[in-house]
Amino acid sequence: MFGLLSNELRLEILQQLWERRGEALSFSELQSQVAVRDSGKFNYHLNMLVPEFVRKSEAGYLLAHAGKQAIGTAVSGHFSDVSDLDLGTVSAGPCVLCEGTLEAQYRDGEVSVDCPECGELIARMPVPPITVASITPERLPEVFSLHLLTLSRQLSRGFCKLCHGRVDSKLTALSPEESVTHHPELNVRFECRACGDETNLNAGAVTMDHPAVTSFLFDAGIDLRETNVWTFDSILDPETKIVSEDPLRLRLVMELDGAELVLTLNESAAVISHERRPSG
């Protein structure tokens, strides 16, 4: 795919079709828009895009879904040099592990939140340059939190963050695989069946999309959209216990405002039971 899109003329063809917003263009109309006199050369590059990126109909040429995705990728800056994006190091709130001050920074296409005092990496995720290019440094933690919440929901609902293919998820608590979470039993690994991309998330973050958790937070006056997700120690650092090894069952106990939410997760990190009760 990358070879097909490495030519500037092909990208220009996609761009011209994108700007027409669904209006079909004939061969001659499209050729005139990209200003290429050599019909043979133009025809060759256009045919390289059909049918994956450009769809040919009776009315003319239209942008296919993959072509729209290619334009979106180009606009997002995934293929751009990110070295010029320097937002510095920004305070990202208190560390839930040691009460130190977290630091967020954007480097090499990724945002990371870590604690310099206890040395723990709290969160790290690829973020397109366009997501952070127009924000002030102070807003980096807020924007990253929303981005992280969006991606964790996408993964927990079964879709790859890169290619949107289906993903398989599993708790790695009883496996020899290395954990990236503070407590190894909380590590959830997602693997895409299509592209093979792997992502590790905290089991608490995975459950934040479940109605029992969102209502638990809402009743405590917490809106996930307005608070940095890594500040919820009751969600990301809950009381944990493996209650069964075969089949694997992990129990999480989250506490807020005098109430507890007890979740049981299966080997795929899906919530199979939940109970709310008074603390203690």
Compute the average pLDDT of residues 60-74: 85
Closest CA to 198 of 165, 233, 244, 241: 165
The percent of residues in the chain predicted with pLDDT above 90, rounded, is: 62
Alpha helices (H) in the chain, listed in sequence order: 8-19, 27-34, 39-49, 65-76, 129-133, 140-156, 203-207, 211-219, 233-236
Compute the average pLDDT of residues 56-76: 85
Rounded CA separation 120/183 (Å): 11
Predicted confidence (pLDDT) at residue 114 exceeds the cutoff of 90: yes
Confidence of residue 74 (pLDDT cuts 50, 70, 90): confident
Compute the average pLDDT of residues 186-208: 94
CATH of the domain at 245: 3.10.450
Residue 279, classed as helix, strand or coil, is coil
Structure tokens at 36: 């290429």
What is the number of residues in the chain? 280
Confidence of residue 150 (pLDDT cuts 50, 70, 90): very high
Segment 155-179, tens digit of pLDDT: 999 999 888 899 999 999 988 877 7
Rounded CA separation 216/198 (Å): 30
User: What are the φ/ψ torsions at residue 143 (nearest 5 degrees)?
Assistant: -65, -40
Q: Is the peptide bond before 247 cis (omega within 30 degrees of 0)?
A: yes
Instruction: Please name the residue that has the structure tokens 């919440």.
Output: 149
Q: Is residue 95 part of a domain?
A: no
Confidence of residue 71 (pLDDT cuts 50, 70, 90): confident
Q: Domain of residue 227: give its range.
A: 208-278
Q: Is residue 197 part of a domain?
A: no
Structure tokens at 51: 């049918």
Rounded CA separation 264/266 (Å): 7
Rounded CA separation 133/3 (Å): 27
Compute the average pLDDT of residues 99-107: 92
| pTM, full prediction | 0.76
Q: Is residue 178 part of a domain?
A: no
Task: Identify the domain boundary among 36, 53, 76.
Answer: 76
Predicted confidence (pLDDT) at residue 76 exceeds the cutoff of 70: no
Compute the average pLDDT of residues 261-265: 98
Task: Identify the domain boundary among 76, 100, 123.
Answer: 76
Task: Identify the domain boundary among 33, 52, 76.
Answer: 76
Q: Is residue 61 part of a domain?
A: yes
Q: Residue 204: what pLDDT?
A: 93
Q: Residue 129: what pLDDT?
A: 84
Highest averaged pLDDT of the listed ranges 7-21, 88-102, 129-143, 248-262: 248-262
Cβ atoms 91, 73 nearer than 8 A: no
Q: Is residue 262 part of a domain?
A: yes
Which residues touch 7 (CB under 8 Å, ≥6 apart)? Answer: 45, 48
Confidence of residue 66 (pLDDT cuts 50, 70, 90): confident
Residue 139, classed as helix, strand or coil, is helix
Q: Is residue 45 part of a domain?
A: yes
Instruction: Please name the residue that has the structure tokens 């109970």.
Output: 275
Q: Residue 75: what pLDDT?
A: 65
Q: Is residue 146 part of a domain?
A: no
The tally of domains found in the chain comes to 2
Q: Is residue 216 part of a domain?
A: yes
Q: Residue 82: what pLDDT?
A: 53
